[in-house]
Structure 1
Amino acid sequence: MATHRNPLIIGAGPAGLTAALELVHRGVVPRIYEATEHVGGLARTPTAGQWRADPGGHRFFTQHEEIMDLWKELLPHDEWLAVPRRSAMLVDGHLVPYPLLGRELVTRLGFRSGMRGASGLMWSRFRRGMRAVEKEQTFREWGIEEFGKHWYRIFFDGYVRKTWLADPDSLSSDWANQRIKPIDWRRAGKRGDADDDVFRYPRLGPGQLWDAAAAALTDAGVTPSLNSPVVGLHHDGRQWNIELQNGDIAAGDAVFSSMPLQLLMHMLKPAPPKHIRAIAGTLRHRSLITVAVALSEHRDIPYNWVYTPGADCRVGRVQNYLRWSPALAPEGFTGTYLGLEYFTLPHDDLWLADDETLRAIVERDLQVLGVGDSSVQQLMTIRSQYAYPIYEAGRERNVVRIRDYLRENHPGLHPIGRNGMHRYDNQDHAMLSALRSVGRYFGEKVDPWLVNTGLGYHETGLLRS
């Protein structure tokens, strides 16, 4: 037992809990402080009676054996489901399968639209071939180059405006190669089994895994302290002291922080230089409001997700919960159970809307989606204030400057996870950043900031079983 070590962890989401599990594995007992009343962060499973909801639609896949082994260790085999992913984009009343397939772009949207899209794509590829110098691209530039102006406009421009809440010209394209697949022009028979998108999913939703992680930690003598927001962080030259909202102080030799990076920098004492605080102030998040709606009538929706790029409805994406797991609804439920995802900014009008206003928006969107004539049996609202880091131009450069400042001045402070590192990571990458940070704490020559930095599409070579 490494009794001389006394680390503190801020946040009990996937990164914070993974850091705690790894520390316990290495013989160290950390203390965890979580601002909310639950563990799991965005990957929790809120409940209302027998109804369960997934706020973000979490798929469990990874390229890393150590992550897969941890998932298997936390949940037994019979608590995992194998779920085939099927997604679609709702465009002009047509459901077009996503990732985009060349043949579907013609058959679903019509010959004229297909020819316009194909000619636009050819022109964009010609221009890319003529480009002499590689340069940093905005999302709009990347999207037009990758899909052509017509297909970019109808599939991605409106969706990005709605979900990222920013002009595509002001967004970096850093995340696009990892998140958006190119058009597949192969015939269906030529794609093969390797292209089947099947992922793992806990039977009772993503929070089942993180509840199991918290239970394992409690058994090891580490119980996360919930409803414990951190309001201050101070290094006195010898140790770290974190101040909780209730006035308590916790002291330790290191801090692993998954709280939003910009909040961390503004809480840090001694205060960072003015220019570092200004850089931190540019880092922004999107918030997420998920409304889980159970409808009495059964609708055959053969998709896990439906993306809604059009301006005729406010919802950005719709989850079909029963395709994730039937256990998200009460046993015997025969209707339709959807999760409507609304992307917003902290403190804007939608975030501040009362339940009556939000319900009116949901009911209107259900009408637009063609399912509004079924009676609502259940409605549950889940709010996640810091859900997704925004990839504005200059984000990577600004985060690097903060990282370098912390490494030089506070080597015992370890940002981890999606919010802690201000990166659009999946669960497995958030977990891996925590594992690497713990390794660094023990003197290993590893760099958590190198996790998930490749520009190639990262859902290849996956471990799913």
Structure 2
Amino acid sequence: MNAPRQPLIIGAGPAGLTAALELVKRGVTPRVYEATPHVGGLARTPVDGDWRVDPGGHRFFTSNEKVLELWNSLLPPDQWISVPRRSAMLVAGEYVTYPLWGRDLLIQLGVRSGVRGAGSLLWSRFRRNFRLDDRSETFQEWGVDEFGRHWYDLFFDGYVRKTWLADPNHLASDWANQRIKPIDWRRPGDRPADLDVFRYPRLGPGQLWEAAARALANADVTVTLNAAVVAIRQDRRGWTVEFEDGQTASGDAVFASTPLRLLINSLEPQPPKHIRAFADTLRHRCVITVGVALQKRYDIPFNWVYTPGEEFRVGRIQNYGRWSPALAPENWNGTHLGLEYFTLPHDDLWEASDETLGHIVEQDLGTLGVDHSEIEHVMVVRSQFAYPIYDPGRERNVARIRDYLKQNFPTMHPIGRNGMHRYDNQDHAMLSAMHSVARYFGENIDPWQVNTDLGYHEAGLLRN
């Protein structure tokens, strides 16, 4: 007789909750443990009264039918809205539409800037044609190749320094092909009217993952919150996970969306020194999202505004009114913004008090032309493990850790953005969980092959 399956899931973000739902679908009851007081990870929706904040600006799109089916199974059609994406970069006081359009680049910032940019782009393309190796290793190399030095410096260099907190010449270019679209040289009349429309839960991304937690509860699956892991041990009987409060849980497999570095450092006995050294190189950016409600209504026709200039401390601004009106109180007619500040653990901004952060927000609003007297409501949301950093050694070091875990712990399944230390979207994180569950049941599928297409450009199915 086969031993009963008793999988443990560490993390109740999109990957962990998806793994739990997939296991339930296959007749297995997992146990889920989350270190924080909430489900959803970065895709949660913090609430303060009638105010809601989306900490990361989560667009729901996918090219995978199974992901789409799961989304639709959790929320009814009337709880989904379709949102056209419009983004801009605020440069020299001008909102330049992003993705970048050739016509805008040539005339919007002045003819001199346009001519300089076009000449710089042509020179970069000319030089690239004579290189033996066409692959750009660093983000800076990739950006200059793709946009030319002038437009790269104007739009991307400062933004990347501010948001990735690193010299662009010290960042790998792996993620750039997926996240940054090339210049579109089509005429305005040739552009599709429905460019980049995405789905969004009416009450923010957390609405979906709270629904997932309820579905699990209805299937008698317990999601234990405030359960920080301090140690993970394996013996011939299986796995034992120890939590901060001294409690333990045992099972036959572990699905872990906890940051890969923390996973390696929690294993007992300790992995070899070189594996721990690889893990210690893996870093994350934090994000502090400040939800600011302004009494006055400003006409900002964009979901996101990127702020590459040094005059701003904020890296990106969300206009929540363009996401969903339900993120603000009913019948409210002001402007609801989300200012995103990117930081590292333990640096001055991360450690700053809400009061100090408030002064920074007021300065940035002032640069936008907004007086602080217009502020009606403020919410501060801190997310520590928000974005894996893509330094040049990331791919190699993650591969070595992956191979070590596969060889020594075949019933340990890292999943999701943090578990695999990759800049995955929600659908990719979910697919890594789905594939890991399939592998747990003996299917020949490799979760690490999810999101390896360099041409993926964040577009997909929109059907209800």
Tell me which residue corresponds to 2:314: 315
Sort the Cα spacing of 1:60 and 1:460 in 2 relative to 1 into closer, same or farther, 3 A: closer
SS of aligned partner of 2:249: strand
Tell me which residue corresponds to 1:226: 225
SS of aligned partner of 2:224: coil
Tell me which residue corresponds to 1:371: 370
Q: Distance in 2 between matches of 1:250 and 1:373?
A: 50
Q: Distance in 1 between matches of 2:42 and 2:460?
A: 25
1:374 shift after superposition? 4.9
Tell me which residue corresponds to 2:205: 206
Q: How does 1:30-69 map to 2 (within 5 A)?
A: 30-69=30-69
1:373 shift after superposition? 5.3
Question: Which deviates more from structure 2 when the two are superposed, residues 47-56 or residues 455-464?
Answer: 455-464
SS of aligned partner of 1:4: coil
Q: Which amino acid aligns with 1:113?
A: S
1:369 shift after superposition? 1.4
Q: Which amino acid aligns with 2:54?
A: D
1:421 equivalenced with 2:420 (yes/no): yes
Sort the Cα spacing of 1:144 and 1:136 in 2 relative to 1 into closer, same or farther, 3 A: closer
Q: Distance in 2 between matches of 1:136 and 1:366?
A: 37
8 Å CA contact retained: 1:15, 1:433? yes
Question: What is the RMSD computed on CA atoms of the aligned residues?
Answer: 1.1
1:192 shift after superposition? 2.6
SS of aligned partner of 1:350: helix
Q: How does 1:263-342 map to 2 (within 5 A)?
A: 263-342=262-341
SS of aligned partner of 1:406: helix
Q: Give structure 2 stretches of 5+ with no counterpart.
A: none
Tell me which residue corresponds to 1:242: 241
Q: Which amino acid aligns with 2:152?
A: Y
Q: Distance in 1 between matches of 2:136 and 2:259?
A: 26
Q: Which amino acid aligns with 2:423?
A: Y
Sort the Cα spacing of 1:136 and 1:278 in 2 relative to 1 into closer, same or farther, 3 A: farther
Identity over aligned pairs, percent: 69
1:128 shift after superposition? 1.2
Tell me which residue corresponds to 1:260: 259
SS of aligned partner of 1:319: strand
TM-score norm. by structure 2 comes to 0.98
SS of aligned partner of 1:88: strand
Tell me which residue corresponds to 1:453: 452
Tell me which residue corresponds to 1:216: 215
Q: Which amino acid aligns with 2:44?
A: R
Q: Distance in 2 between matches of 1:379 and 1:363?
A: 11
How many residues matched?
463
Q: How does 1:106-121 map to 2 (within 5 A)?
A: 106-121=106-121
Q: Distance in 2 between matches of 1:464 and 1:188?
A: 27
Q: Which amino acid aligns with 1:443?
A: G
1:458 shift after superposition? 2.8
Q: Give structure 1 stretches of 5+ with no counterpart.
A: none
8 Å CA contact retained: 1:64, 1:463? no
Q: Distance in 1 between matches of 2:459 and 2:342?
A: 27
Q: Which amino acid aligns with 1:253?
A: D
Tell me which residue corresponds to 2:102: 102
Tell me which residue corresponds to 1:83: 83
1:438 equivalenced with 2:432 (yes/no): no
Q: Distance in 2 between matches of 1:372 and 1:55?
A: 24
Question: Which deviates more from structure 2 when the two are superposed, residues 87-96 or residues 455-464?
Answer: 455-464
Tell me which residue corresponds to 1:172: 172
1:306 shift after superposition? 0.1
SS of aligned partner of 1:212: helix
Q: Which amino acid aligns with 2:29?
A: V
Q: Which amino acid aligns with 1:19?
A: A
1:243 shift after superposition? 0.3
Q: Which amino acid aligns with 1:123?
A: W
Measured against aligned partners, the alpha-carbon deviations of 1:42-71 in whole angstroms (never above 9, x if no partner) come to 000000000001000000000000000100
Q: Which amino acid aligns with 2:388?
A: P
1:371 shift after superposition? 2.1
Measured against aligned partners, the alpha-carbon deviations of 1:4-34 in whole angstroms (never above 9, x if no partner) come to 1000000000000000000000000000000
8 Å CA contact retained: 1:138, 1:168? yes
SS of aligned partner of 1:172: coil
1:14 equivalenced with 2:14 (yes/no): yes
